[in-house]
Amino acid sequence: MHAKTALLSYILTIATAGCATTQTPEERELEFLALSQAHFTQSLSVTDDPLNSDVRINTRTGWRDYQFSFGPRDDQFLRASLPRGEGVVVLQAYVTAEANTTAALQPVSVNFEHSVEARTVDRVNLDVRSCSRNSCIYYEEMVFDLTLAEINQLITGIEDRSHQVVRFRIQGLSGRQRDGRFHISELRAFRDAVVAHAN
């Protein structure tokens, strides 16, 4: 009996702790908009191993759009591959999308609200699970390329409009869309890291 009581108490403690850290959408939005360049700089992942042919940078841990491990895992971050010698610098936006629906997004292109032109989107991973009679849960990972000049254009466009973010929309063959955004502080921190590590 005591063991059951202790187990129940432990479960309630964990549940209460989880509730205490839960934020409303409004609270999360305010926290996101207040993020500084210093925050994104400190949370950057930089892999600079002399045994690798490139330096890899990403902003993945700077902010996660989804609050819980369950539910839609929609997120986006920036990543870079910088060759140590001759080679192509790769700067990309990496976007994830998850939805319980009748068909995968099947991304085709992305449009921005200002500053840079539309471009193609490549899907790099697809996971299908938990199918019912009418739908499945589709999890997709996709990328689109950016240049350093375009990142600077996005930053300038955000500054000119006195905004904190730039929004984008990925169009899919399914007829569905995936909306996302990048914080100006994330773009600045990523740009500065790329410049600092470039040859």
Model pLDDT for residues 77-102, shown as the tens digit of each residue? 999 999 998 889 999 999 999 999 99
Q: Is residue 19 part of a domain?
A: no
Q: Is residue 141 part of a domain?
A: yes
C-alpha to C-alpha distance for 172 and 169, rounded to whole angstroms:
10
Q: Is residue 28 part of a domain?
A: no
Q: Which of 75, 74, 72, 47 is nearest to 61 (CA)?
A: 75
So what's the pLDDT on residue 12?
Answer: 41
Q: Is residue 99 part of a domain?
A: yes
So what's the pLDDT on residue 17?
Answer: 41
Residue 113 has pLDDT above 60, yes or no: yes
Domain count of the chain? Answer: 1
Cβ distance 60 to 169 under 8 Å?
no
Q: Is residue 95 part of a domain?
A: yes
Amino acid, res. 70: F
Q: Is residue 48 part of a domain?
A: yes
pTM: 0.84
Q: Is residue 25 part of a domain?
A: no
Q: Which domain range does residue 136 map to? A: 35-197
For 14, the token pair is 């964990």
Q: Is residue 16 part of a domain?
A: no
